[in-house]
Structure 1
Amino acid sequence: MTGAGARQAREVEEAALAWVTEHRDDFGLGEDALAAEGRVNSTWKPLGELAQVCVSVRRHTAPTDPVHRCVSDLLAFAWRQTRHGALFLQLQRLEPFATYPLEVYAPFASAGLRHPGYESAAAAVARTRGWRLVEQQPTRRLGVRMAERRSGIHRPEPGPEAVARTWLGGLSEPWTFERSSGYQLTHVVFHLTDWGRAAHGMPSALAAYLADWLPPWLDSCLEARDWDLSCELLAVAATLPRPLDAVTLQDAWARIAAAQHTTGALPERDKGPGGGDGPATDGPAGDDRGRDFSAAYHSTLMAAFAAALTLGRPDTRTGDAPRRHPQAQGARG
C-alpha cells in the first residue's frame, strides 16, 4: 500500500492515539478492581487491551517516532495502574483459577514489565489438573496458552488439533462467516502470531484460506459499518504473507477515516441507511459521536493497532508520508 492509503492509515492511527491519550484516565482501575463481584469487562479488560495495543504499536514503530513515545507512556501508565504487578498477585489469591489475570498480565510481561511473585503463584496453579482441564472454547484456550508462554509458564505447545477445533482452523465454509465467527477468527490469528509479532506462526493453509476470503469478509463488514471488526480484519490482513491488493486497502482505510470522529474516536458500529446497531452517522460530522468511552474505546484501539501493523509491513512504503506527532501529547507521569 502506498500514497493516499498509507497516509490515511497513519492519520487514523495518530488521531486514535490522541483520543486514547485524552481518555487515559478512563482506562484506570477503580476501587472495584478487586471486588468479589467486580465488573471485569469494565475494569481489567480495557486496561489489558490498552496494554496489548501499546505493546504492539511500539514494536511496529521506530524508537525515534513520537508515536513510539506516546504508546510507551501509555503502557507505563497502565503498568502503574496494576501497582507494578502487585494487583495481579492479589487477584491470584482471590481467584486462583481465573484466567483473565494472566491474560491481562501477558502483554506487560512480553514488554519486560514483570512481577516475579505473581508469575511464581500463577505457575503453581498452572501445574494443577484443574487448570489444565478447565473447559474453554478453543479460541480462548489458544489465548490462555499464549498468555502462559509470554508469562514464563512453559508447557508443551498446543498441537495442530487445537487450532483445527476453531472456526478458522477448521477452514469453515466461507459463507458461514458472521460477526461472532469473525471475532473468533481474528483472535485465532492474533494468538498464533503473537499479535502480529510473529507472522510465521500462522499455518500456510490458514494463510491461503484468509488470502481468498478475507477481502469479501472485510467488504461486508465495512458495508455494515462494523468498524471494530473491520479494523480487526485489517490487522489480520497485515499479518498475511502477501498484502491485500492496494485498491482494497485504500478503500478500507478511506472508509475507516470517514467514520472516525474529529476527536479521533472510532465508534464500534454505526447505523446505516439499512438499520443496524450504534449511533447514526455519515462521517465525522456530528460532534456527539464517539464521546461515550465504553462504546468507542475498543474500536479506537483496534484502529491504532491495525494501522500500526499495516504501516509496519516491509512492503508498505511510507517515505512520502512522514509520521506526525499525535494531536495529544504523550501520557503524563
Structure 2
Amino acid sequence: MTAPAATAPGSTAGAALAVLPRVLRQALGWADAHRTGFVLPPDVLEPHTQVNSTLKPLGELAQLCTTIRRSTEPGTPEHGTAGDLIAFAWEQVRAGDLLLELLRGEPFAAYPYEIYAAFAGHGLRNEGFERLAGTLSSTRGWAHTEQHANRELGLINSERRVGAAPHADAGAVLARTWLGGLSEPWMFEGPSGYALTHTVFHITDWCCVPERMPADIDAYLRAWLPPWIDGCLESRQWDLTGELLAVAAALPGPPPTALLDAAWPALATAQAPSGAVPETGPLIPVPESPETAGPGGPEPDPYPFLACYHSTLVTAFAAALCLKRLTAHRADGPAADTGAAV
C-alpha cells in the first residue's frame, strides 16, 4: 500500500513545535477554568442519571490528565494543572467510594472499573473497590461479558492498571478489531476512526507505552494516518483529528514529523481564544467587545460545555504527547522522517 507523503502541501519544519505549547496551555487552562462542568450531581447514583453527561466527562478528565501529567515535565504549569485536575476528579468520586457504590449496583458494568483504572494509573487506590473488583473479575460472567473488541481491550488495560489478571489475551482481542485486521484504508470513516484510536489507546496504555504496538500496525498507521487526518481536517472533524494526532504520537520509533508539522497548525486554528475546541463543524467567531477585547480581558466561550469539553481535553492530551515526542526527537538529533509510506 502507498499513501500520500504529507497531510498538506507546504508544511514547515518545526511548525508543530511552534504552536503546541500554546495549544496545550490554552486547552488545559480551559478545562481548569470549567471545573464546574465536571462536578457530579447529588443524584449521580440514581438510575435516571445520564452517565454520558456526568461520570463520562469526569472519567475522561481523569484519564487524559493522567497522560498529560506523565507527558509533561515536573515543575511546569501544565504538569501542575493536570495533577490538580486529577485530584479534583478524585474528590468528586469521594476517593473511590462512589465508584465502589456504582460497582455494587452494577457489578458487571465496565465503566466504573475503567474510571477507577484512570485513577489507579496515577497511583490513587481504594481498597474496598479493588477487593470487590477482584472478586468480580474472577467470575465466569466477567470473562464472558459480550462487548466490541476495542471495548474489551479497554477493560484488559484497566485490569492491568488495577493489578488484576487480564480476563482474555490482548493479542487475540486485538486481532478482532478494525485496526488489528489492517482493514482497507478506504473503509475509514467516523465510527471506525474512533474504534481505531481507542484500540491504540488501550494497547499502548493511553499512548504512554508505544512499544506495545505491533510492527505491522505501526507500519499501517504510518502509511494511512496522513490521508485520514487530512480528510478529518477538511471535513472539520476536530475531535477525531485530535485523537488521530494522539495516535501519531503513540507510534514507536521516530515521530512522523512531517505529518505533525502539517496538521497541528491546522488544528490550532480551531481553538477559540478561551482554549475551547469544538467537536465538529465550522468555527463560531467570537465578537470583540470592550469587555473582551484587548489583553487581560476575559475570553468569551463560544461553545456549550458538552459540545467542546471532549475535543478540548483530547486536544490537550494529543498536544502534550506530541510535544514530548517532538522535543525528545529534536534533542536526539536529525533522523529519517517516517511520516509517510514508501
TM-score by length of 1: 0.88
The 5 A counterparts of 1:21-36 are: 21-36=32-47
Amino acid paired to 2:172: E
Counterpart selection for 1:203 from 187, 201, 214: 214
Show the counterpart of 2:295: none
**Distance of 1:307 and 1:208 partners within structure 2:** 22
**Residue 2 of structure 1: how far off its partner (Å):** 6.0
1:296 aligns with 2:273: no
Show the counterpart of 1:45: 56
Show the counterpart of 1:323: none
1:259 match: secondary structure: coil
The 5 A counterparts of 1:93-104 are: 93-104=104-115
Judged with a 3 Å threshold, the aligned counterparts in structure 2 of structure 1 residues 232 and 243 are, in CA distance, closer, same or farther, namely farther
Counterpart selection for 2:151 from 140, 146, 164: 140
Amino acid paired to 1:201: R
Show the counterpart of 1:160: 171
1:264 aligns with 2:260: no
TM-score by length of 2: 0.86
Show the counterpart of 2:334: none
1:221 aligns with 2:232: yes
Judged with a 3 Å threshold, the aligned counterparts in structure 2 of structure 1 residues 111 and 240 are, in CA distance, closer, same or farther, namely same
**Distance of 1:102 and 1:91 partners within structure 2:** 9
Amino acid paired to 1:301: L
Show the counterpart of 1:322: none
Contact kept in structure 2, 1:51 and 1:108, CA below 8 Å? yes
Count of residues in correspondence between the two structures? 310
1:305 aligns with 2:317: yes
Amino acid paired to 1:238: A
**Residue 206 of structure 1: how far off its partner (Å):** 0.4
Show the counterpart of 2:9: none
Amino acid paired to 2:266: R
Judged with a 3 Å threshold, the aligned counterparts in structure 2 of structure 1 residues 166 and 186 are, in CA distance, closer, same or farther, namely same
Q: Gaps spanning 5+ residues in structure 2: where?
A: 1-11, 289-298, 332-342
**Distance of 1:77 and 1:110 partners within structure 2:** 15
**Distance of 2:287 and 2:250 partners within structure 1:** 33
Amino acid paired to 1:174: P
Amino acid paired to 2:303: R
2:242 match: secondary structure: helix
1:51 match: secondary structure: helix
1:85 aligns with 2:86: no
Amino acid paired to 2:202: H
Show the counterpart of 2:141: 130
Residues 261-290 of structure 1: CA distance to partner in whole angstroms, max 9, x if unpaired?
11000000014xxxxxxxx54x76688764
1:111 match: secondary structure: coil
**Residue 315 of structure 1: how far off its partner (Å):** 4.0
Q: CA RMSD in A?
A: 2.0
Judged with a 3 Å threshold, the aligned counterparts in structure 2 of structure 1 residues 183 and 285 are, in CA distance, closer, same or farther, namely farther
Show the counterpart of 1:62: 73
1:249 aligns with 2:277: no
Show the counterpart of 1:240: 251
Amino acid paired to 2:181: G
Contact kept in structure 2, 1:221 and 1:230, CA below 8 Å? yes
1:33 match: secondary structure: coil
**Residue 247 of structure 1: how far off its partner (Å):** 3.8
**Distance of 1:218 and 1:284 partners within structure 2:** 26
Amino acid paired to 1:44: L
Counterpart selection for 1:5 from 2, 16, 41: 16
Amino acid paired to 2:205: D
**Residue 291 of structure 1: how far off its partner (Å):** 2.8
1:15 aligns with 2:32: no
**Distance of 2:170 and 2:268 partners within structure 1:** 40
Q: Gaps spanning 5+ residues in structure 1: where?
A: 272-279, 319-333
Amino acid paired to 1:15: Q
1:187 aligns with 2:198: yes
**Residue 316 of structure 1: how far off its partner (Å):** 4.0
**Distance of 2:31 and 2:260 partners within structure 1:** 24
Amino acid paired to 1:148: E
**Distance of 2:14 and 2:218 partners within structure 1:** 26
**Residue 17 of structure 1: how far off its partner (Å):** 0.8
